[in-house]
Amino acid sequence: MNEVIREFLLETHENLAQLDLDLVQLERDPRGTETIARVFRTLHTVKGTAGFLGLPKLQAVAHAAENLLTRLRSGEMVYTPVIASALLAAVDAVRKMLDALEKTETEGADDFAAAIATLEALLVAGNAGPAHVPAPQVVPVVMPPVPAAPMVVSAPPPVEAPTPAPVISVEPAPVVIEKSRSLNPPSLVSAVSTVSAESAEPRSAAVSDSALRVDVGLLDKLMTLVGELVLARNQIMQFSTTQEESAFLGTVQRLNLLTTELQANVMKTRMQPIGNMWSKFPRVVRDLAVACGKQVHLEMDGKETELDKTIVEAIRDPLTHLVRNAVDHGIETPAERIAKGKPAEGRLALQASHEGGKIIIKIVDDGRGIDPDRVREKALAVKLITPEQAERMSEREITELIFLPGFSTADKVTNFSGRGVGMDVVRTNVEKIGGTVDIDTQPGLGTTLKMKIPLTLAIIPALTITSGGDRYAIPQVSLLELVRLEGEQAQQGIEWIHNAPVYRLRGNLLPLVYLNRELQVADTGVDGEVNIVILQADDRQFGLIVDAIHDTEEIVVKPLQKQIQGVTAFSGATIMGDGRVALILDVLGLAHKANVVSGLRERGMVEKAAATDAVPKETVLLFATRSGAHMAVPLSSVARLEEFPRSELERVGSRYVVQYRGQILPLLDVGKALGRKKKTRSSAAHQKSSLPVQVIVYTGQGHVLGLIVGQILDIVEEAIVTKSRARRRGVLYTAVLQEKVTEFLDVEGLVQAVDPDFFDATPVEV
């Protein structure tokens, strides 16, 4: 069913239920002006929407009732039982058309001319008397099911109406049902035959029965309670690790599954399509285009993309500003566009999609783009940068100057722009919710602004770390990878450039931040050991050195109290599984505090040591099979890297499995699946078999699978220029990585060759 029709049915069914109550209430208090006004507004809405949807019969009935209510609202007529019956009949007619619309997507074949005629006759007659007014249509009364006991149906003699004036009949003559002393009453058949045929059919679920309006405050409270339940679940899960009783562990596992499912469904109640927010933009674009003397065509793609209500509210103003900027600054006037060989009408597109657990929103225009030279001149004129800095800046860095406070390329202040306030606020507001804003522009061709934002803020996965003896949580949305340096590598791996610590990570100079120093706490780390958490903030990467790294878990975000809201290093707090409070690190605020992403300070540190290539880079996980072959899988498909003692591997049928995070994780030996011949087992091989098994936890098509490999080597990000065709089953292609020939594993093809039904089974989240 069309979504607009569905919303119309839901809202109108609710309004009709209130109409019944209001019309009956008016019989008791005919002078209830507020009630009359409410009835009028409801029917007026029904009439207007029916006209918009192309429902002429529904529009005609509502219009006739609205005309009568106009006279009642102005006091020209007095509400009487006759008028009440006519309006109630109109409501019944509307309800009948709604039922037909839901079942057949039409108004039905019934003719409601008599109901309209009654309303019009009452309007003409006023309160002179109902002598010439036809009787309103009345929906037949459906009799209840006939009981099993023998019954005799008899009707009383008709009651004569009073002689002064005829009265319109509202209900048919009552039917009296009496128990009979006889076992065979003959009139039962005729009584049953008078029952409507519709009463014998089972009633199908209506649209109005499938939806319920709930107060947003109640949903927020429910979300808070689910968050507390998640915290309690985490505490029980942590306590269960010290227990061995199977019944208790089974109950804990069941609690974990139910809590996870409940959390997911409650989160869905807060989700709403982004199209609800986008609905105002056609008017915004139209009005602004007219005011600027421009022609703009707006396209919206991905309106059904859903995200959390709190996120919608957070990005409403930034998105509005970006749309206005695109029309005001980006798209040229028709004369300018024609002179450049473009169509007179500019194009503005809003696009939304899911990508990697985040929402991607793009604002694309085919306007003039951003000229880096003009931006540089403006920045120098207002002294936002020095001439020396301008010489060293790339075009991308020049373009991103538009996000600095006080910067504007407008030549004069207008009603829409030119004050230098806007783009800096856009980036700040988006980053507050853990999102990023990126810009890609081509002078003369157009600009694309991309916002990457999280789905929700209430419950998020986070990595727990320790620094200075206290625990902190780092949102996983900002986490890239973990690096551990030991022994001589810990001493020589960290270099210093201009008194700033850096780490050389796969050819990149990565700026480092010591969390202990930024928080001014004591160092409690282990000597000869360095733990680096690689984070991303403001499109820049940096390493955060911490004392210890723990595990990842879902945390419930709690707002900070007033006393510490001004501390830029923290964004919130949470309660851990043992009941202790942990502060949530604000990655961007921490990076600004450490001067990692403040303007241009460490520009050279995060750039590639060698010249960048135009070929797009791919991030892959390198590993070796037990036979020594070098292979790779995309890092985006890798959930975790694990090691299991061989004693924990169990055999189920012909497959190996392992108990993992409360679930049963199926395992696949990559070397065996690829068809490597089994070597003769030596004493060295026997000793090697006692070592832990290295497993890549792979995710694909909603399924989780453990890949047994010989050794996990590295994570690399390289531009793969040359690819050669695969020579065997289970391999996508072959390429050179780190000067070694590497096969790229076709996991799904390999699994289907070994177990064709694996991806057809119900997905299990781990």
CB 417 within 8 A of CB 325: yes
Which pLDDT does position 129 carry in this prediction? Answer: 43
Which pLDDT does position 294 carry in this prediction? Answer: 92
pLDDT tens digits along 326-382? 998 889 999 999 999 999 999 999 999 877 567 889 999 999 998 888 888 888 888
Taking alpha carbons only, the member of 637, 630, 628, 618 closest to residue 716 is 618
**Domains delineated in the chain:** 3-125 (1.20.120.160), 217-270 (1.10.287), 273-454 (3.30.565.10), 466-606 (2.40.50.180), 617-760 (2.40.50.180)
Both tokens of 544, joined, read 């955060």
From residue 463, alpha-carbon distances to 378, 578, 606, 731 in Å are 42, 16, 24, 34
CB 550 within 8 A of CB 582: no
Give start and end residues of each alpha helix (H) in 549-659.
587-593
CB 362 within 8 A of CB 351: yes
User: Who's near 563: CB < 8 A, 6+ residues apart?
Assistant: none
* Tokens 């000067």 belong to residue: 739
Q: What are phi and psi of 683, to 5 degrees?
A: -65, -35
**H or E stretch covering 725:** strand 724-725
From residue 296, alpha-carbon distances to 183, 293, 577 in Å are 81, 10, 54
* Tokens 């050279």 belong to residue: 604
DSSP state of 477: G
Distance from C-alpha of 331 to C-alpha of 447, rounded to nearest angstrom: 10
Distance from C-alpha of 548 to C-alpha of 532, rounded to nearest angstrom: 9
Residue 487's SS3 state is: helix
CB 77 within 8 A of CB 127: yes
Q: What are phi and psi of 465, to 5 degrees?
A: -135, 170
CB 552 within 8 A of CB 464: yes
* Spans of the chain below 70 pLDDT: 1, 127-184, 186-213, 356-357, 406, 408-422, 457-458, 538-539, 561-566, 597-616, 676-690, 721-722, 759-766
Distance from C-alpha of 353 to C-alpha of 132, rounded to nearest angstrom: 63
User: Who's near 351: CB < 8 A, 6+ residues apart?
Assistant: 300, 301, 302, 360, 361, 362, 364
Which pLDDT does position 186 carry in this prediction? Answer: 33
User: Who's near 76: CB < 8 A, 6+ residues apart?
Assistant: 126
User: Who's near 557: CB < 8 A, 6+ residues apart?
Assistant: 457, 458, 459, 460, 572, 573, 574, 584
* Tokens 């003039």 belong to residue: 368
Which pLDDT does position 174 carry in this prediction? Answer: 39
DSSP state of 43: H
DSSP track, 492-557: HSEEEETTEEEEEETTEEEEEEEHHHHHT----PPTTEEEEEEEEETTEEEEEEESEEEEEEEEE-
User: Who's near 178: CB < 8 A, 6+ residues apart?
Assistant: 151, 152, 153, 154
Taking alpha carbons only, the member of 159, 168, 185 closest to residue 125 is 168
First CA to last CA distance, the chain: 36
Which pLDDT does position 347 carry in this prediction? Answer: 93
Q: How many C-beta atoms lie closer than 10 Å to residue 289's C-beta?
A: 20
CB 658 within 8 A of CB 648: yes
Both tokens of 439, joined, read 């810009």
